[in-house]
């Protein structure tokens, strides 16, 4: 991926998340249109940059090939290359909370699910026990991957690699807006998309590109299904209480 295409894709991700990217003052001065116009132009450019284009030499819509009856011998057409196998789609839903500057949370749940009252109470109790709750638990940000069913048609892979790229952009944007020191990666999908290659067991830690120290735990959903997992999660994070 070229640097320009990478920047365009990042801006497209941020636009889908409702986050307007930072635009340098000299860029604003050059356009003279204000922040809204620059952000809109960036979003439009991003979408255009990753939209599919027609294949070179493709006939116009509605056109057909005309046989002129030319009897000139022609070489047999080369066999079309066999298309490469498409990456396996990856589906997940993550919930993000940032209660304090010390702590943020990324918890996995089944696609389409929402954290219920029992899960929110559980998270509040865990955060309170490590002095990371603040006044109250903030509203959750739900992150779905892929963002839309036709995302693959826009040139964005909907596999695990695409989910990792998208989540990396999301966490970097959140950390830039309000830095956080630790990030609880709750559940296997949260670890897979945020921690990159390599497994993390419950209690393992890893420094992320966004600057936060990640700590792997069980997800809120799994702990609600199996309360015995709460003890392992507490052992993983109890050092933060001190």
pTM reported for the whole predicted model = 0.67
Confidence of residue 120 (pLDDT cuts 50, 70, 90): very high
Spatial separation of the C-alpha atoms in residues 162 and 157, rounded to whole Å: 5
Q: Which residues contact 174 (CB under 8 A, 6 or more apart)?
A: 96, 98, 104, 180, 210
Token pair 């865990």 is found at: 126
Q: Please determine, for residue 165, whether its predicted confidence score (pLDDT) is greater than 50.
A: yes
**Which residues of the chain form CATH 3.40.470?**
92-241
pLDDT above 70: percentage of residues in the chain: 61
Q: Tell me: the pLDDT tens digits for 86-115?
A: 667 889 999 999 999 999 999 999 999 999
**What average pLDDT does the chain have?**
76
Q: Tell me: the pLDDT tens digits for 20-78?
A: 444 444 443 444 443 343 334 333 433 333 333 334 344 434 443 333 334 444 555 55
Query: What mean pLDDT is predicted for residues 175-193?
Result: 96
- CATH class of the region 92-241: alpha beta
């Amino acid at each position: 991926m070229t640097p320009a295409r990478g920047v365009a894709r990042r801006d497209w991700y941020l636009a889908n998340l409702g986050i307007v990217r930072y635009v340098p003052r000299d860029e604003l001065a050059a356009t003279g249109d204000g922040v809204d116009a620059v952000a809109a132009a960036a979003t439009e450019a991003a979408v255009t940059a990753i939209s599919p284009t027609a294949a070179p030499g493709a006939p116009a819509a509605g056109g057909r090939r005309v046989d002129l009856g030319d009897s000139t011998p022609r070489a047999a057409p080369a066999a079309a290359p066999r298309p490469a196998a498409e990456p396996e789609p990856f589906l997940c839903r993550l919930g993000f909370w940032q209660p304090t500057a010390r702590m943020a949370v990324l918890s996995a749940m089944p696609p389409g699910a929402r954290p219920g009252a029992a899960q929110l109470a559980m998270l509040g109790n865990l955060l309170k026990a490590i002095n990371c709750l603040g006044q109250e638990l903030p509203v959750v940000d739900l992150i779905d991957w892929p963002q839309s069913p036709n995302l693959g048609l826009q040139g964005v892979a909907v596999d695990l690699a695409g989910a990792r790229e998208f989540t990396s952009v999301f966490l970097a944007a959140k950390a830039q807006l309000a830095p956080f020191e630790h990030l609880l990666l709750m559940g296997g999908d949260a670890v897979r998309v945020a921690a990159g290659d390599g497994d993390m067991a419950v209690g393992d830690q890893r420094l992320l590109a966004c600057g936060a120290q990640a700590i792997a735990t069980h997800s809120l959903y799994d702990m609600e299904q199996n309360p015995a997992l709460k003890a392992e999660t507490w052992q993983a994070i109890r050092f933060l209480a001190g």
